[in-house]
Structure 1
Protein backbone atom coordinates (compact mmCIF):
# COMPACT_ATOMS: atom_id res chain seq x y z
CA UNK A 1 0.00 0.00 0.00
CA UNK A 2 1.34 3.44 -0.92
CA UNK A 3 2.62 5.38 2.08
CA UNK A 4 0.88 8.64 2.84
CA UNK A 5 3.39 11.50 2.51
CA UNK A 6 3.81 13.79 5.48
CA UNK A 7 1.99 17.07 5.04
CA UNK A 8 4.27 20.09 5.06
CA UNK A 9 3.59 23.59 6.32
CA UNK A 10 4.04 26.70 4.21
CA UNK A 11 5.62 29.30 6.48
CA UNK A 12 6.15 31.65 3.54
CA UNK A 13 2.43 32.48 3.59
CA UNK A 14 1.88 33.01 7.32
CA UNK A 15 4.77 33.49 9.74
CA UNK A 16 2.86 31.96 12.63
CA UNK A 17 2.63 28.59 10.83
CA UNK A 18 6.13 27.53 11.87
CA UNK A 19 4.77 25.41 14.75
CA UNK A 20 1.20 24.21 14.05
CA UNK A 21 1.09 22.20 17.29
CA UNK A 22 0.62 25.38 19.37
CA UNK A 23 -2.03 26.93 17.10
CA UNK A 24 -5.77 26.95 17.66
CA UNK A 25 -8.91 28.26 15.99
CA UNK A 26 -8.58 30.53 12.98
CA UNK A 27 -4.78 30.50 12.92
CA UNK A 28 -4.69 26.69 12.86
CA UNK A 29 -7.33 26.60 10.10
CA UNK A 30 -5.57 29.26 8.01
CA UNK A 31 -2.31 27.32 8.19
CA UNK A 32 -4.08 24.05 7.45
CA UNK A 33 -5.82 25.44 4.36
CA UNK A 34 -2.55 26.77 2.91
CA UNK A 35 -0.48 23.59 3.07
CA UNK A 36 1.17 22.22 -0.04
CA UNK A 37 -1.49 19.55 -0.43
CA UNK A 38 -4.25 22.13 -0.29
CA UNK A 39 -2.51 24.14 -2.99
CA UNK A 40 -2.65 20.99 -5.09
CA UNK A 41 -6.35 20.72 -4.24
CA UNK A 42 -7.00 24.28 -5.39
CA UNK A 43 -5.01 23.77 -8.58
CA UNK A 44 -7.02 20.63 -9.32
CA UNK A 45 -10.08 22.83 -9.91
CA UNK A 46 -8.08 24.42 -12.71
CA UNK A 47 -7.29 20.93 -13.99
CA UNK A 48 -11.01 20.16 -14.25
CA UNK A 49 -11.77 23.46 -15.99
CA UNK A 50 -8.84 22.94 -18.38
CA UNK A 51 -10.11 19.46 -19.19
CA UNK A 52 -13.54 20.87 -20.03
CA UNK A 53 -12.08 23.74 -22.07
CA UNK A 54 -10.05 21.34 -24.22
CA UNK A 55 -12.39 18.36 -24.33
CA UNK A 56 -15.63 20.18 -25.23
CA UNK A 57 -14.47 21.61 -28.60
CA UNK A 58 -12.44 18.49 -29.37
CA UNK A 59 -15.42 16.21 -28.68
CA UNK A 60 -17.63 18.50 -30.76
CA UNK A 61 -15.16 18.24 -33.65
CA UNK A 62 -15.08 14.44 -33.34
CA UNK A 63 -18.86 14.43 -33.22
CA UNK A 64 -19.23 16.64 -36.27
CA UNK A 65 -16.94 14.48 -38.38
CA UNK A 66 -18.66 11.34 -37.08
CA UNK A 67 -22.12 12.68 -37.95
CA UNK A 68 -20.93 13.91 -41.35
CA UNK A 69 -19.41 10.50 -42.07
CA UNK A 70 -22.62 8.74 -41.00
CA UNK A 71 -24.68 10.62 -43.60
CA UNK A 72 -22.07 10.20 -46.33
CA UNK A 73 -23.00 8.49 -49.59
CA UNK A 74 -19.68 6.63 -49.52
CA UNK A 75 -20.49 3.26 -47.94
CA UNK A 76 -17.24 2.65 -45.96
CA UNK A 77 -17.36 6.19 -44.57
CA UNK A 78 -21.03 5.83 -43.60
CA UNK A 79 -20.34 2.49 -41.91
CA UNK A 80 -17.47 4.03 -39.96
CA UNK A 81 -19.57 7.02 -38.87
CA UNK A 82 -22.56 4.92 -37.81
CA UNK A 83 -20.26 2.47 -36.05
CA UNK A 84 -18.66 5.32 -34.12
CA UNK A 85 -22.11 6.59 -33.12
CA UNK A 86 -23.21 3.09 -32.12
CA UNK A 87 -20.58 2.79 -29.39
CA UNK A 88 -22.62 5.12 -27.16
CA UNK A 89 -25.42 2.56 -26.86
CA UNK A 90 -25.50 -0.18 -24.24
CA UNK A 91 -22.04 0.28 -22.71
CA UNK A 92 -21.50 2.12 -19.38
CA UNK A 93 -19.36 5.26 -19.53
CA UNK A 94 -16.82 3.93 -17.06
CA UNK A 95 -16.17 0.91 -19.30
CA UNK A 96 -15.46 3.27 -22.21
CA UNK A 97 -13.04 5.35 -20.17
CA UNK A 98 -11.09 2.47 -18.71
CA UNK A 99 -10.92 0.67 -22.07
CA UNK A 100 -9.81 3.65 -24.13
CA UNK A 101 -7.18 4.94 -21.72
CA UNK A 102 -5.59 1.48 -21.43
CA UNK A 103 -5.90 0.78 -25.16
CA UNK A 104 -4.40 4.15 -26.12
CA UNK A 105 -1.52 3.79 -23.66
CA UNK A 106 -0.64 0.27 -24.77
CA UNK A 107 -1.18 1.13 -28.43
CA UNK A 108 1.31 4.01 -28.26
CA UNK A 109 3.89 1.86 -26.47
CA UNK A 110 3.35 -0.99 -28.95
CA UNK A 111 4.04 1.32 -31.91
CA UNK A 112 7.14 2.76 -30.24
CA UNK A 113 8.31 -0.77 -29.44
CA UNK A 114 7.97 -1.86 -33.09
CA UNK A 115 9.96 1.16 -34.28
CA UNK A 116 12.65 1.43 -31.60
CA UNK A 117 13.14 -2.23 -30.67
CA UNK A 118 12.84 -4.14 -33.93
CA UNK A 119 15.40 -6.71 -32.73
CA UNK A 120 13.29 -7.65 -29.67
CA UNK A 121 12.76 -11.42 -29.73
CA UNK A 122 10.42 -11.83 -26.74
CA UNK A 123 6.62 -11.69 -26.95
CA UNK A 124 5.00 -8.44 -25.85
CA UNK A 125 2.12 -10.29 -24.25
CA UNK A 126 3.54 -12.44 -21.47
CA UNK A 127 0.58 -13.86 -19.61
CA UNK A 128 -1.22 -10.95 -17.99
CA UNK A 129 1.73 -8.60 -18.50
CA UNK A 130 2.29 -6.12 -21.34
CA UNK A 131 6.07 -5.93 -21.73
CA UNK A 132 7.93 -3.57 -24.06
CA UNK A 133 11.55 -2.46 -24.12
CA UNK A 134 12.55 0.38 -21.79
CA UNK A 135 13.04 2.99 -24.52
CA UNK A 136 9.54 2.28 -25.86
CA UNK A 137 7.80 3.17 -22.63
CA UNK A 138 5.71 6.31 -22.75
CA UNK A 139 6.82 8.39 -21.01
CA UNK A 140 10.30 7.15 -20.17
CA UNK A 141 10.97 6.10 -16.59
CA UNK A 142 13.60 8.83 -16.16
CA UNK A 143 11.35 11.60 -17.50
CA UNK A 144 10.53 14.49 -15.15
CA UNK A 145 7.38 14.22 -13.06
CA UNK A 146 5.61 16.93 -15.05
CA UNK A 147 6.04 14.84 -18.21
CA UNK A 148 4.28 11.88 -16.57
CA UNK A 149 1.48 14.15 -15.37
CA UNK A 150 1.10 15.87 -18.75
CA UNK A 151 1.03 12.51 -20.53
CA UNK A 152 -1.65 11.16 -18.18
CA UNK A 153 -3.72 14.30 -18.60
CA UNK A 154 -3.38 14.14 -22.40
CA UNK A 155 -4.57 10.53 -22.42
CA UNK A 156 -7.52 11.54 -20.26
CA UNK A 157 -8.41 14.42 -22.60
CA UNK A 158 -8.22 12.21 -25.67
CA UNK A 159 -10.29 9.51 -23.95
CA UNK A 160 -12.96 12.01 -22.94
CA UNK A 161 -12.98 13.48 -26.46
CA UNK A 162 -13.41 10.07 -28.12
CA UNK A 163 -16.21 8.97 -25.78
CA UNK A 164 -18.14 12.22 -25.71
CA UNK A 165 -17.42 12.75 -29.40
CA UNK A 166 -19.51 9.64 -30.03
CA UNK A 167 -22.35 11.13 -27.97
CA UNK A 168 -22.01 14.42 -29.85
CA UNK A 169 -22.03 12.56 -33.18
CA UNK A 170 -25.30 10.91 -32.20
CA UNK A 171 -26.84 14.30 -31.34
CA UNK A 172 -25.55 16.04 -34.47
CA UNK A 173 -26.61 13.19 -36.74
CA UNK A 174 -30.15 13.48 -35.40
CA UNK A 175 -30.04 17.27 -35.78
CA UNK A 176 -28.94 16.97 -39.41
CA UNK A 177 -31.88 14.67 -40.10
CA UNK A 178 -34.23 17.09 -38.33
CA UNK A 179 -33.53 19.93 -40.76
CA UNK A 180 -36.50 19.99 -43.19
CA UNK A 181 -35.65 18.25 -46.44
CA UNK A 182 -37.46 21.03 -48.30
CA UNK A 183 -34.71 23.46 -47.27
CA UNK A 184 -32.06 21.29 -48.92
CA UNK A 185 -34.18 20.74 -52.03
CA UNK A 186 -34.78 24.48 -52.37
CA UNK A 187 -31.05 25.17 -52.13
CA UNK A 188 -30.33 22.56 -54.79
CA UNK A 189 -33.09 24.01 -56.98
CA UNK A 190 -31.26 27.35 -56.87
CA UNK A 191 -28.19 25.63 -58.28
CA UNK A 192 -26.23 24.80 -55.13
CA UNK A 193 -24.11 21.67 -55.16
CA UNK A 194 -24.57 19.08 -52.37
CA UNK A 195 -21.42 20.44 -50.72
CA UNK A 196 -22.70 24.02 -50.85
CA UNK A 197 -26.14 23.10 -49.52
CA UNK A 198 -24.48 21.17 -46.69
CA UNK A 199 -22.31 24.05 -45.52
CA UNK A 200 -24.65 26.95 -46.30
CA UNK A 201 -28.03 25.49 -45.39
CA UNK A 202 -27.81 22.27 -43.38
CA UNK A 203 -24.96 23.12 -41.00
CA UNK A 204 -26.22 26.60 -39.97
CA UNK A 205 -29.74 25.30 -39.31
CA UNK A 206 -28.85 22.07 -37.54
CA UNK A 207 -27.41 23.84 -34.50
CA UNK A 208 -30.89 24.93 -33.41
CA UNK A 209 -32.00 21.30 -33.32
CA UNK A 210 -28.71 20.07 -31.82
CA UNK A 211 -28.40 22.58 -28.99
CA UNK A 212 -30.80 20.88 -26.51
CA UNK A 213 -28.96 17.59 -26.89
CA UNK A 214 -25.55 19.28 -26.77
CA UNK A 215 -26.62 21.18 -23.65
CA UNK A 216 -27.47 17.91 -21.93
CA UNK A 217 -24.20 16.45 -23.15
CA UNK A 218 -22.29 19.39 -21.63
CA UNK A 219 -23.98 18.72 -18.28
CA UNK A 220 -23.09 15.04 -18.53
CA UNK A 221 -19.49 15.98 -19.36
CA UNK A 222 -19.31 18.16 -16.25
CA UNK A 223 -20.64 15.35 -14.10
CA UNK A 224 -18.18 12.90 -15.68
CA UNK A 225 -15.07 14.89 -14.70
CA UNK A 226 -14.70 12.95 -11.39
CA UNK A 227 -13.78 9.97 -13.58
CA UNK A 228 -10.40 11.66 -13.97
CA UNK A 229 -9.61 10.14 -10.59
CA UNK A 230 -10.03 6.65 -12.08
CA UNK A 231 -7.73 7.56 -14.98
CA UNK A 232 -4.84 8.39 -12.67
CA UNK A 233 -5.18 12.20 -12.76
CA UNK A 234 -5.01 14.01 -9.42
CA UNK A 235 -8.32 15.82 -9.73
CA UNK A 236 -10.60 17.38 -7.11
CA UNK A 237 -12.06 14.01 -6.13
CA UNK A 238 -8.60 12.58 -5.52
CA UNK A 239 -7.61 15.51 -3.31
CA UNK A 240 -10.96 15.59 -1.47
CA UNK A 241 -10.53 11.95 -0.50
CA UNK A 242 -6.85 12.40 0.29
CA UNK A 243 -7.30 15.51 2.44
CA UNK A 244 -10.60 14.58 4.04
CA UNK A 245 -9.54 11.21 5.42
CA UNK A 246 -8.53 10.89 9.05
CA UNK A 247 -4.96 12.02 9.78
CA UNK A 248 -2.81 11.32 12.83
CA UNK A 249 0.24 13.15 14.15
CA UNK A 250 2.44 10.44 12.67
CA UNK A 251 1.64 11.50 9.11
CA UNK A 252 0.84 15.21 9.29
CA UNK A 253 1.40 18.39 11.26
CA UNK A 254 -2.37 18.96 11.13
CA UNK A 255 -4.09 15.88 12.60
CA UNK A 256 -7.87 15.72 12.27
CA UNK A 257 -10.77 13.30 12.09
CA UNK A 258 -12.75 12.14 9.08
CA UNK A 259 -13.60 15.35 7.23
CA UNK A 260 -14.48 13.81 3.87
CA UNK A 261 -18.11 14.90 4.18
CA UNK A 262 -17.06 18.56 4.27
CA UNK A 263 -14.68 18.25 1.34
CA UNK A 264 -17.25 16.49 -0.80
CA UNK A 265 -19.85 19.06 0.27
CA UNK A 266 -17.52 21.71 -1.17
CA UNK A 267 -17.36 19.71 -4.42
CA UNK A 268 -21.15 19.45 -4.42
CA UNK A 269 -21.48 23.24 -4.15
CA UNK A 270 -18.88 23.73 -6.88
CA UNK A 271 -20.65 21.42 -9.33
CA UNK A 272 -24.08 22.87 -8.57
CA UNK A 273 -22.82 26.42 -9.12
CA UNK A 274 -21.02 25.42 -12.31
CA UNK A 275 -24.07 23.69 -13.77
CA UNK A 276 -26.28 26.67 -12.88
CA UNK A 277 -23.95 29.07 -14.69
CA UNK A 278 -23.86 26.65 -17.63
CA UNK A 279 -27.67 26.58 -17.77
CA UNK A 280 -27.83 30.38 -17.95
CA UNK A 281 -25.19 30.58 -20.69
CA UNK A 282 -26.77 27.78 -22.73
CA UNK A 283 -30.21 29.40 -22.44
CA UNK A 284 -28.81 32.65 -23.90
CA UNK A 285 -27.11 30.74 -26.72
CA UNK A 286 -30.33 28.85 -27.48
CA UNK A 287 -32.32 32.08 -27.59
CA UNK A 288 -29.80 33.67 -29.93
CA UNK A 289 -29.68 30.70 -32.31
CA UNK A 290 -33.48 30.39 -32.39
CA UNK A 291 -33.95 33.97 -33.56
CA UNK A 292 -35.58 33.99 -36.99
CA UNK A 293 -35.70 30.19 -37.24
CA UNK A 294 -38.80 28.21 -38.21
CA UNK A 295 -38.93 26.41 -34.88
CA UNK A 296 -41.18 26.58 -31.82
CA UNK A 297 -38.61 28.71 -30.01
CA UNK A 298 -38.24 31.03 -32.99
CA UNK A 299 -42.02 31.34 -33.35
CA UNK A 300 -42.33 32.16 -29.65
CA UNK A 301 -39.77 34.95 -30.05
CA UNK A 302 -41.70 36.42 -32.99
CA UNK A 303 -44.84 36.56 -30.84
CA UNK A 304 -43.13 38.48 -28.03
CA UNK A 305 -44.31 42.12 -27.78
CA UNK A 306 -40.84 43.63 -28.06
CA UNK A 307 -39.98 41.55 -31.11
CA UNK A 308 -43.25 42.40 -32.82
CA UNK A 309 -42.68 46.11 -32.24
CA UNK A 310 -39.20 45.90 -33.76
CA UNK A 311 -40.62 44.09 -36.80
CA UNK A 312 -43.22 46.84 -37.45
CA UNK A 313 -40.65 49.61 -37.25
Structure 2
Protein backbone atom coordinates (compact mmCIF):
# COMPACT_ATOMS: atom_id res chain seq x y z
CA UNK A 1 0.00 0.00 0.00
CA UNK A 2 2.77 2.43 0.95
CA UNK A 3 6.31 2.77 -0.35
CA UNK A 4 8.40 2.57 2.83
CA UNK A 5 11.80 2.96 1.21
CA UNK A 6 11.99 6.67 2.09
CA UNK A 7 10.20 7.17 5.42
CA UNK A 8 11.28 10.81 5.69
CA UNK A 9 9.09 11.70 2.71
CA UNK A 10 5.92 10.02 3.98
CA UNK A 11 2.86 11.75 5.38
CA UNK A 12 1.63 11.04 8.93
CA UNK A 13 -0.68 8.07 8.23
CA UNK A 14 1.68 6.47 5.71
CA UNK A 15 4.65 7.07 8.04
CA UNK A 16 2.84 5.41 10.94
CA UNK A 17 1.79 2.45 8.79
CA UNK A 18 5.35 1.89 7.61
CA UNK A 19 6.68 2.38 11.14
CA UNK A 20 4.31 -0.22 12.62
CA UNK A 21 5.17 -2.77 9.93
CA UNK A 22 8.94 -2.38 10.07
CA UNK A 23 11.19 -5.38 10.70
CA UNK A 24 11.66 -4.67 14.39
CA UNK A 25 7.94 -4.31 14.92
CA UNK A 26 7.37 -7.68 13.27
CA UNK A 27 9.76 -9.13 15.88
CA UNK A 28 7.80 -7.24 18.55
CA UNK A 29 4.55 -8.83 17.40
CA UNK A 30 6.19 -12.26 17.27
CA UNK A 31 7.38 -11.82 20.86
CA UNK A 32 3.74 -11.95 22.00
CA UNK A 33 3.66 -15.45 20.55
CA UNK A 34 6.83 -16.26 22.47
CA UNK A 35 5.09 -15.35 25.73
CA UNK A 36 2.02 -17.43 24.87
CA UNK A 37 4.23 -20.35 23.83
CA UNK A 38 6.12 -20.11 27.12
CA UNK A 39 2.83 -20.29 29.04
CA UNK A 40 1.53 -23.16 26.92
CA UNK A 41 4.66 -25.25 27.51
CA UNK A 42 5.57 -24.22 31.04
CA UNK A 43 2.14 -24.76 32.60
CA UNK A 44 1.87 -28.53 31.91
CA UNK A 45 5.57 -29.11 32.59
CA UNK A 46 5.36 -27.25 35.91
CA UNK A 47 2.21 -29.18 36.77
CA UNK A 48 4.04 -32.45 36.04
CA UNK A 49 6.93 -31.36 38.27
CA UNK A 50 4.44 -30.38 40.96
CA UNK A 51 2.58 -33.68 40.76
CA UNK A 52 5.86 -35.60 41.01
CA UNK A 53 6.98 -33.46 43.95
CA UNK A 54 3.66 -33.84 45.79
CA UNK A 55 3.64 -37.60 45.21
CA UNK A 56 7.21 -37.86 46.46
CA UNK A 57 6.41 -35.74 49.53
CA UNK A 58 3.66 -38.15 50.64
CA UNK A 59 5.70 -41.27 49.83
CA UNK A 60 6.29 -43.94 52.48
CA UNK A 61 9.91 -44.23 51.32
CA UNK A 62 11.93 -41.79 53.49
CA UNK A 63 14.56 -40.68 50.89
CA UNK A 64 11.84 -40.02 48.34
CA UNK A 65 9.75 -38.15 50.89
CA UNK A 66 12.76 -36.04 51.94
CA UNK A 67 13.48 -35.21 48.30
CA UNK A 68 9.89 -34.11 47.66
CA UNK A 69 9.71 -31.91 50.74
CA UNK A 70 13.22 -30.57 50.18
CA UNK A 71 12.39 -29.61 46.60
CA UNK A 72 9.36 -27.57 47.60
CA UNK A 73 11.05 -25.97 50.62
CA UNK A 74 14.28 -24.97 48.89
CA UNK A 75 12.77 -23.55 45.71
CA UNK A 76 9.95 -21.75 47.53
CA UNK A 77 12.44 -20.26 49.97
CA UNK A 78 14.60 -18.58 47.30
CA UNK A 79 13.47 -15.32 45.62
CA UNK A 80 12.36 -15.98 42.06
CA UNK A 81 14.74 -13.47 40.47
CA UNK A 82 17.74 -14.86 42.35
CA UNK A 83 16.80 -18.42 41.38
CA UNK A 84 16.30 -17.47 37.73
CA UNK A 85 19.65 -15.68 37.53
CA UNK A 86 21.51 -18.52 39.24
CA UNK A 87 19.81 -21.56 37.81
CA UNK A 88 20.08 -20.59 34.14
CA UNK A 89 23.85 -20.14 34.49
CA UNK A 90 24.22 -23.34 36.53
CA UNK A 91 22.13 -25.39 34.11
CA UNK A 92 24.00 -24.04 31.09
CA UNK A 93 27.38 -24.82 32.65
CA UNK A 94 26.20 -28.28 33.71
CA UNK A 95 25.24 -29.19 30.14
CA UNK A 96 28.52 -27.84 28.78
CA UNK A 97 30.49 -29.70 31.46
CA UNK A 98 28.90 -33.04 30.48
CA UNK A 99 29.58 -32.38 26.80
CA UNK A 100 33.13 -31.35 27.63
CA UNK A 101 33.82 -34.63 29.40
CA UNK A 102 32.44 -36.63 26.46
CA UNK A 103 33.84 -34.67 23.52
CA UNK A 104 37.19 -33.56 24.96
CA UNK A 105 38.50 -36.38 27.20
CA UNK A 106 42.12 -35.33 26.64
CA UNK A 107 41.62 -31.78 27.92
CA UNK A 108 44.15 -31.12 30.68
CA UNK A 109 43.56 -27.48 31.61
CA UNK A 110 41.22 -26.84 34.54
CA UNK A 111 37.67 -25.93 33.60
CA UNK A 112 37.40 -23.47 36.46
CA UNK A 113 40.00 -20.75 36.04
CA UNK A 114 39.24 -18.15 38.64
CA UNK A 115 35.78 -16.79 37.85
CA UNK A 116 35.89 -18.14 34.29
CA UNK A 117 34.24 -21.35 33.10
CA UNK A 118 36.22 -22.62 30.12
CA UNK A 119 35.36 -25.70 28.07
CA UNK A 120 36.51 -26.85 24.66
CA UNK A 121 34.92 -25.35 21.59
CA UNK A 122 33.08 -28.55 20.70
CA UNK A 123 31.31 -28.56 24.07
CA UNK A 124 29.78 -25.10 23.75
CA UNK A 125 26.00 -24.93 23.72
CA UNK A 126 25.03 -23.97 21.17
CA UNK A 127 28.10 -23.90 18.91
CA UNK A 128 29.27 -20.45 17.84
CA UNK A 129 28.76 -21.53 14.23
CA UNK A 130 25.15 -22.58 14.88
CA UNK A 131 22.37 -20.56 13.22
CA UNK A 132 20.59 -17.90 15.22
CA UNK A 133 17.42 -19.92 15.67
CA UNK A 134 19.37 -22.57 17.59
CA UNK A 135 20.70 -19.95 20.00
CA UNK A 136 17.18 -18.61 20.52
CA UNK A 137 15.69 -22.10 20.95
CA UNK A 138 18.36 -23.05 23.48
CA UNK A 139 17.77 -19.90 25.52
CA UNK A 140 14.01 -20.43 25.39
CA UNK A 141 14.41 -24.06 26.52
CA UNK A 142 16.48 -22.99 29.52
CA UNK A 143 13.83 -20.42 30.36
CA UNK A 144 11.05 -23.05 30.20
CA UNK A 145 12.99 -25.42 32.49
CA UNK A 146 13.68 -22.64 34.97
CA UNK A 147 10.06 -21.48 35.07
CA UNK A 148 8.82 -25.07 35.33
CA UNK A 149 11.12 -25.93 38.25
CA UNK A 150 10.20 -22.77 40.18
CA UNK A 151 6.45 -22.96 39.64
CA UNK A 152 6.53 -26.74 39.93
CA UNK A 153 7.62 -26.34 43.55
CA UNK A 154 4.63 -24.12 44.29
CA UNK A 155 2.33 -26.49 42.41
CA UNK A 156 3.71 -29.39 44.47
CA UNK A 157 2.74 -27.61 47.66
CA UNK A 158 -0.77 -26.93 46.32
CA UNK A 159 -1.27 -30.51 45.14
CA UNK A 160 0.07 -31.93 48.39
CA UNK A 161 -2.54 -29.95 50.31
CA UNK A 162 -5.25 -30.98 47.84
CA UNK A 163 -4.41 -34.65 48.33
CA UNK A 164 -4.79 -34.22 52.06
CA UNK A 165 -8.15 -32.47 51.56
CA UNK A 166 -9.86 -35.44 49.93
CA UNK A 167 -12.26 -36.80 52.62
CA UNK A 168 -10.61 -39.61 54.53
CA UNK A 169 -13.79 -41.79 54.61
CA UNK A 170 -13.54 -42.18 50.84
CA UNK A 171 -10.02 -43.54 51.16
CA UNK A 172 -11.12 -45.87 53.94
CA UNK A 173 -14.06 -47.09 51.84
CA UNK A 174 -11.73 -47.92 48.96
CA UNK A 175 -9.46 -49.81 51.33
CA UNK A 176 -12.46 -51.69 52.75
CA UNK A 177 -13.37 -52.81 49.23
CA UNK A 178 -9.90 -54.26 48.81
CA UNK A 179 -8.30 -51.56 46.69
CA UNK A 180 -4.52 -51.57 46.76
CA UNK A 181 -2.61 -48.43 47.71
CA UNK A 182 -1.89 -47.75 44.04
CA UNK A 183 -5.53 -48.25 43.01
CA UNK A 184 -6.74 -45.98 45.78
CA UNK A 185 -4.29 -43.30 44.71
CA UNK A 186 -5.16 -43.31 41.00
CA UNK A 187 -8.89 -44.10 41.16
CA UNK A 188 -10.00 -42.24 44.28
CA UNK A 189 -7.44 -39.65 45.38
CA UNK A 190 -6.18 -38.21 42.10
CA UNK A 191 -9.59 -37.72 40.37
CA UNK A 192 -11.03 -35.91 43.39
CA UNK A 193 -8.09 -33.77 44.42
CA UNK A 194 -8.33 -31.38 41.47
CA UNK A 195 -11.35 -29.50 42.79
CA UNK A 196 -9.39 -28.75 45.97
CA UNK A 197 -6.25 -27.86 44.05
CA UNK A 198 -7.86 -25.62 41.44
CA UNK A 199 -8.03 -22.40 43.53
CA UNK A 200 -4.33 -22.61 44.32
CA UNK A 201 -3.41 -23.62 40.78
CA UNK A 202 -5.49 -20.74 39.44
CA UNK A 203 -3.47 -18.30 41.52
CA UNK A 204 -0.24 -19.90 40.30
CA UNK A 205 -1.38 -19.51 36.71
CA UNK A 206 -2.01 -15.80 37.26
CA UNK A 207 1.39 -15.42 38.92
CA UNK A 208 3.02 -17.26 36.03
CA UNK A 209 1.44 -14.83 33.59
CA UNK A 210 2.78 -11.89 35.58
CA UNK A 211 6.23 -13.52 35.79
CA UNK A 212 6.71 -13.80 32.01
CA UNK A 213 8.53 -10.41 31.83
CA UNK A 214 11.37 -12.19 33.63
CA UNK A 215 12.17 -13.68 30.23
CA UNK A 216 14.07 -10.46 29.61
CA UNK A 217 16.41 -11.31 32.48
CA UNK A 218 17.03 -14.74 30.96
CA UNK A 219 18.27 -13.33 27.67
CA UNK A 220 15.08 -13.93 25.68
CA UNK A 221 13.89 -11.01 23.55
CA UNK A 222 10.35 -10.85 24.89
CA UNK A 223 7.67 -8.18 24.72
CA UNK A 224 9.24 -6.14 27.54
CA UNK A 225 12.57 -6.05 25.72
CA UNK A 226 11.01 -4.87 22.48
CA UNK A 227 8.70 -2.37 24.18
CA UNK A 228 11.66 -0.74 25.86
CA UNK A 229 13.77 -0.95 22.69
CA UNK A 230 11.15 0.45 20.31
CA UNK A 231 9.67 2.99 22.70
CA UNK A 232 12.95 4.68 23.60
CA UNK A 233 13.84 7.97 21.93
CA UNK A 234 15.18 7.52 18.39
CA UNK A 235 17.25 10.16 16.64
CA UNK A 236 17.25 10.64 12.88
CA UNK A 237 20.90 9.72 12.42
CA UNK A 238 20.37 6.33 14.15
CA UNK A 239 16.91 5.39 12.89
CA UNK A 240 14.77 5.62 9.76
CA UNK A 241 11.79 6.43 12.01
CA UNK A 242 12.91 9.08 14.52
CA UNK A 243 10.55 9.82 17.40
CA UNK A 244 10.48 10.92 21.03
CA UNK A 245 10.06 8.81 24.14
CA UNK A 246 7.11 6.57 23.30
CA UNK A 247 7.64 3.95 26.00
CA UNK A 248 4.39 4.98 27.70
CA UNK A 249 2.39 3.85 24.66
CA UNK A 250 4.26 0.59 24.28
CA UNK A 251 3.94 -0.35 27.92
CA UNK A 252 0.27 0.66 27.85
CA UNK A 253 -0.14 -1.91 25.04
CA UNK A 254 1.53 -4.51 27.27
CA UNK A 255 -0.85 -3.55 30.08
CA UNK A 256 -3.86 -4.19 27.84
CA UNK A 257 -2.37 -7.49 26.67
CA UNK A 258 -1.85 -8.79 30.20
CA UNK A 259 -5.23 -7.56 31.39
CA UNK A 260 -6.91 -9.28 28.45
CA UNK A 261 -4.97 -12.49 29.07
CA UNK A 262 -5.90 -12.57 32.75
CA UNK A 263 -9.54 -11.86 31.95
CA UNK A 264 -9.70 -14.78 29.50
CA UNK A 265 -7.98 -16.94 32.11
CA UNK A 266 -10.57 -16.00 34.74
CA UNK A 267 -13.44 -16.99 32.45
CA UNK A 268 -11.85 -20.33 31.54
CA UNK A 269 -10.95 -21.14 35.14
CA UNK A 270 -14.47 -20.27 36.34
CA UNK A 271 -15.97 -22.69 33.82
CA UNK A 272 -13.45 -25.37 34.77
CA UNK A 273 -14.32 -24.91 38.45
CA UNK A 274 -18.02 -25.38 37.73
CA UNK A 275 -17.29 -28.51 35.73
CA UNK A 276 -15.05 -30.08 38.38
CA UNK A 277 -17.49 -29.17 41.17
CA UNK A 278 -20.24 -31.31 39.68
CA UNK A 279 -21.05 -34.12 42.10
CA UNK A 280 -18.35 -33.14 44.59
CA UNK A 281 -18.89 -32.76 48.33
CA UNK A 282 -17.91 -29.10 48.27
CA UNK A 283 -19.77 -25.82 48.69
CA UNK A 284 -19.83 -25.32 44.91
CA UNK A 285 -21.07 -28.88 44.43
CA UNK A 286 -23.85 -28.33 46.98
CA UNK A 287 -24.97 -25.18 45.18
CA UNK A 288 -25.18 -27.11 41.91
CA UNK A 289 -27.29 -29.83 43.53
CA UNK A 290 -29.67 -27.31 45.08
CA UNK A 291 -29.94 -25.16 41.96
CA UNK A 292 -33.33 -25.39 40.18
CA UNK A 293 -33.23 -27.51 37.04
1:260 aligns with 2:219: no
Give the match's secondary structure for 1:234.
coil
Deviations 1:40-70 (A, max 9, x none): 0000000000011111001101110110011
Q: What's 2:55 paired with?
A: 68
2:84/2:146 contact within 8 Å kept = yes
In the alignment, is residue 154 of structure 1 matched against residue 141 of structure 2? yes
For normalisation by structure 2, the TM-score amounts to 0.98
Q: Are 2:13 and 1:38 equivalent residues in the alignment?
A: no
Question: Residue 277 in 1 paired to residue 264 in 2?
Answer: yes
Partner of 1:9: none
Task: Tell me if 1:141 matches 2:128.
Answer: yes
TM-score by length of 1: 0.92
Question: Partner of 1:297 in structure 2?
Answer: 284
Aligned residue in 1 for 2:156 = 169
Q: Report what 2:77 is aligned to.
A: 90
Q: Which residue of 2 aligns with 1:119?
A: 106
CA distance in 2, matches of 1:239, 1:68: 41
Per the TM alignment, residue 296 of structure 1 is displaced from its structure 2 partner at its CA by: 1.0
Structure-2 separation of matches of 1:275 and 1:161: 19
Q: What CA distance in whole angstroms lies between the structure 2 residues aligned with 1:235 and 1:77?
A: 37
Residue equivalent to 2:177: 190
Quote the RMSD (CA, aligned, Å): 0.9
Higher mean C-alpha displacement, 85-94 vs 297-306: 85-94
Structure 2 unaligned residues grouped into runs of 5+: none
How far has the Cα of 1:24 moved from its partner? 2.3
Q: Which whole-Å deviations, capped at 9, do the CAs of 1:247-301 have from their partners, x for residues lacking one?
A: 0111110000110111000000000010000000000000100011001111111
Distance 1:62 1:87 in 2: 14
Task: Give 1:179 shift.
Answer: 0.9
Deviation string 1:79-114 (CA, Å, 9 cap, x unpaired) is 111111112433211112112111110100011111
Task: Measure the CA separation in 2 of the matches of 1:100 and 1:121.
Answer: 27
Provide the secondary structure at the position in 2 that maps to 1:214.
helix
Which ranges in structure 1 are unaligned for 5 or more consecutive residues? Answer: 1-13, 307-313
Separation of aligned partners in 2, 1:125 and 1:222: 37
CA distance in structure 2 between the partners assigned to 1:250 and 1:80 by the alignment: 58
Measure, in 2, the Cα distance between the counterparts of 1:235 and 1:183: 47
- Distance in 2, matches of 1:181 and 1:120, equals 59
Question: C-alpha displacement at 1:15, in angstroms?
Answer: 3.7
Return the alpha-carbon distance in structure 2 between the equivalents of residues 89 and 116 of structure 1.
Answer: 36
Kept after mapping to 1: 8 A contact 2:76/2:154: no
What is the SS of the residue equivalent to 1:89?
Answer: helix
Aligned partner (choices 178, 201, 216) of residue 214 of structure 1: 201
Q: What CA distance in whole angstroms lies between the structure 1 residues aligned with 2:158 and 2:23?
A: 43
Instruction: Say whether 1:201 aligns with 2:192.
Output: no
| Residue of 210, 213, 231 corresponding to 1:244 | 231
Aligned residues: 293
